[in-house]
Amino acid sequence: MEDYAWVIEYLPAGKATDMKKESLVQLVGHQFFTLLEAGLKKDATAIVGTKIFVGKGDRDEVDRIKKRIEYGELTNGAKEILSTIIKRIVEDREEVFINFVNKAGPISMRVHQLDLLPGIGKRNMEEILKAREETPFTSFADLKERVSTVSDPAGIFTNRIISELEGNERYFLFTKPQRAY
């Protein structure tokens, strides 16, 4: 369950297809990148790009979480800003992602977790593994400095998370699949 989420769309009159007209927001969770749709309190407004409390307890803006949504249910505006917000979250939680790089291991005999990151091929993976063996990475800047072919670590993680949200991946490293039956 997410405690905080980022507003990626604000629909003051709700969706055109909804019978009940209420203010809605589309959100991306700060912890698990969960896509959510929530109804707002009567006089509340939301600003796209802000982080709001959505957890249990007294919320300022959100009245109720309506449902978890899939990538395809996002508005075009939400899809456009999603990568910017996710990159902000990744940079905000840099330590978690550096820890992933430092501890990533093989999934199978042929596939390594680092292989699953866009732009990290076999050569980059071997360079990362060798560098982290010497000394674990401490930041994105440290990773960029020691592995010359990695120019935008936050962008690599952002692209992977977006791809997982779109449902294009077999393995889920940072999100939970919408339907896990």
Instruction: Give CA 108 to chain center in angstroms.
Output: 25
CB 4 within 8 A of CB 53: yes
Question: pLDDT by residue for the chain (181 residues), tens digit each?
Answer: 899 999 999 998 887 777 777 899 999 999 999 999 999 998 888 999 999 999 998 899 999 999 999 999 999 999 999 999 999 999 999 999 999 999 999 998 888 999 999 989 888 899 999 999 999 999 999 999 999 888 999 999 999 999 999 999 999 999 988 754 3
Q: What is the pLDDT of residue 1?
A: 82
Q: What is the pLDDT of residue 180?
A: 46
Q: What is the pLDDT of residue 13?
A: 83
The C-alpha atoms of residue 11 and residue 57 are separated, in whole angstroms, by 24
Q: What is the pLDDT of residue 179?
A: 59
The C-alpha atoms of residue 107 and residue 172 are separated, in whole angstroms, by 11
Instruction: Give CA 127 to chain center in angstroms.
Output: 26
CB 28 within 8 A of CB 38: no
Q: What is the pLDDT of residue 17?
A: 74
Report the chain's terminal Cα–Cα distance, integer Å: 18
Q: What is the pLDDT of residue 76?
A: 95
Report the predicted TM-score, pTM, of the whole model to 2 decimal places. 0.92
Place of tokens 């909804």: 18
Q: What is the pLDDT of residue 181?
A: 33
Instruction: For the chain, list the domains and their CATH numbers.
Output: 4-75 (2.40.50.140), 93-166 (1.10.150.280)
Q: Report phi then psi at 6, rounded to 5.
A: -105, 135
The C-alpha atoms of residue 26 and residue 46 are separated, in whole angstroms, by 10
The C-alpha atoms of residue 128 and residue 62 are separated, in whole angstroms, by 42
